[in-house]
Amino acid sequence: MLIDQFISYIEAEKRFSKLTVSAYRRDLAQFAAFLSAEFGETDLLQATTPMVKSYVVAMKERKLLNRSINRKISSLRTFYKYCLRENLIEKTPTTGVKALKQPKALAKFVSEADINKVSFAELDDFPTCRDRILFELLYQTGMRQAELRSLCDTDVDLGAMTIKVHGKRNKDRIVPLSKEMTRMILQYQRMRDEAFGPTSHLLVNDKGEQMSPYFVYNKVHLMLEGVTSLKQKSPHVLRHTFATHLLDEGASLVAIQKLLGHEDLGTTQIYAHNTIEQLKKIHKQAHPKG
């Protein structure tokens, strides 16, 4: 099946993440269903530009957010570029289909005062130690939850006080660790090995197995629940918080780009907007004529 061949391509050659692959498969299945229902067309290779534009209109009528629609358009573009490469079509039906405008959303982050309110029970047990490591690694390194879950003991160099993070497209980056962080990791590893023996992942759940995305999300949500009024309390908020706090303390955007593993500096510049908005807020609150 064509979609399966494409999925194998983005998995093996493009090395997209599992979540991205799943989204692409879902997007293509939805477009295929639309073609069949609206045009009686069951072959994706027969899609035309007007059909793709009709799909965009249909999604707008369903009140989908522009961001979601743009992601689905991006999925179709990638799919039809693959079809061009394989000489399955002569031109892509996504030509002339423009991405919809969407407001630039500021990255949500937790203030330094609030992040310091996060606390853990005074218990010397494995779950408490693991939860603290989970939180500190996300906040002190800015890694993504998927990167956190994939960490192995061999990725940690306690002597050099660094950790190797396996980013998107299999691109690794080295992130420094604090002395206190390395001490905490060493203590955690001893407790983990006593409880479960050798494991293939650095951080594990309460059964000694690899943590699921939901497990990490739930832990972070509970940690942030009592310290911030943000509606979003996800691991990615800690990534935004890491970057914003670095910028507020004088770090350069280029340095933050490398720490986050961004390919494009433009992606990192969202945090500069955060800082500008904070300055505006402070000016408005503090200046007599603000």
| 35-77 per-position pLDDT tens digit | 999 999 999 999 999 999 999 999 999 999 999 999 999 999 9
Please give the DSSP secondary-structure letter assigned to residue 155: G
| 111-147 per-position pLDDT tens digit | 999 999 999 988 889 999 999 999 999 999 999 999 9
Residues 266 and 125 in one domain: yes
What are the tokens at 263? 């390919």
- Annotated catalytic residues are 144, 168, 236, 239, 262, 271
Residues 117 and 81 in one domain: no
| Three-state secondary structure string covering 63-87 | CCCHHHHHHHHHHHHHHHHHHHHCC
CA distance 269 to 244: 10
Residues 126 and 219 in one domain: yes
Residues 81 and 119 in one domain: no
Residues ≥6 apart with Cβ < 8 Å to 180: none
Q: Please, which pLDDT band fits residue 267 given cuts at 50, 70 and 90?
A: confident
Percent above pLDDT 90 for the chain: 76
What residue numbers bound the domain in which 222 lies?
Answer: 112-286
The CA angle 228-230-284, to the nearest 5 degrees, is 90
Total residues found in the chain within this entry: 290
Q: Is 213 helix (H, G, I), strand (E, B) or coil?
A: helix
pTM for the whole thing?
Answer: 0.68
Phi, psi of 94 (to 5 degrees): -85, -5
Residues 171 and 80 in one domain: no
Residues 158 and 239 in one domain: yes
Residues 131 and 261 in one domain: yes
Number of domains the chain contains: 2
Last residue of some domain: 50, 85, 120?
Answer: 85
* 8: CATH: 1.10.150
pLDDT in the model for residue 285: 73
